[in-house]
Amino acid sequence: MSTKAAAGRKLKTLERVLSKAGIGSRTEARHWISEGRVKLNGRLIRDPDHWVDMDRDKVTFDGKPVRPGAKVYLLLFKPKGYLTTYKDPDKRPTVYDLTKDRKEFLVPVGRLDLDTSGLLLMTNDTQFAERLTNPSYHVPKTYLVKAATLLSEDQLRRLRTGLDLDDGPTRPAHVVRVRDAGRHTFLELTITEGRNRQVRRMLEAIDSRVLKLVRTAIGPIEIAGLETGKYRMLNSSEVEQLLQSARA
């Protein structure tokens, strides 16, 4: 069927239906479809390019109906020990266990590793998620770090000016020494990148390591006042503030 004919009948490819509904990116949708997690009118479909009639067909993902709805933006205080993924083959807890009362399909905005807690945004607005995670926009992310050692001013200077990691130099970080306690330094560290395990690797690069890591803010939005494992909805002003931080 031609694209022109499809447009005239309000048809979309199956992968497009999932991405437009805010479930995930088109790449993720193709993967899920090939895994057999998507049905069309009760029939399993593994072809992501299969045409869907938006007026007549019913699409389900993991048994739940897929339909466009109101945009949802929530802020979750992710606990340590939870995965930022939809399902885990080893049955470990995921952030979706904490948001199971939501009927919408929500995607995490970026990732927090298993041993990191703190602020995690989730949404069904894929354009919003992609903008905040796009490295070219340098959205600031702030962490509270407990270092395994007492850090010198020279070590803090190296964090502030940038470090050479195995995937290239880091951008300068904003670093505040919160306090020294016993044999440990507590830092507030703000970075404008989103590399895998970046904060942990930065501490290792200055001959220390992370004992505790909590993300406390993304852009101007902070996690203060929210209980661990709980979430709250973002209001329209907060969503706009986050988009403004990406534009800046």
- Residues 151 and 65: their CA atoms lie apart, in Å, by 52
The helix (run of H) or strand (run of E) holding residue 179 is: strand 174-181
Angle between helices 236-247 and 126-133 (to 10 degrees): 40
Concerning whether 113 is annotated as a catalytic residue, the answer is yes
Number of Cβ within a 10 Å radius of residue 42: 7
What is the chain's alpha carbon radius of gyration, rounded to the nearest angstrom?
A: 21
Which phi and psi angles does 132 have, rounded to 5°? -75, -25
CB 175 within 8 A of CB 188: yes
- Residues 101 and 150: their CA atoms lie apart, in Å, by 43
Take residue 72 and report the two structure tokens written for it. Answer: 């949802």
The catalytically annotated residue of 62, 113, 164, 167 is: 113
> The tokens 């016993």 sit on which residue?
182
Which residues form the catalytic set?
113
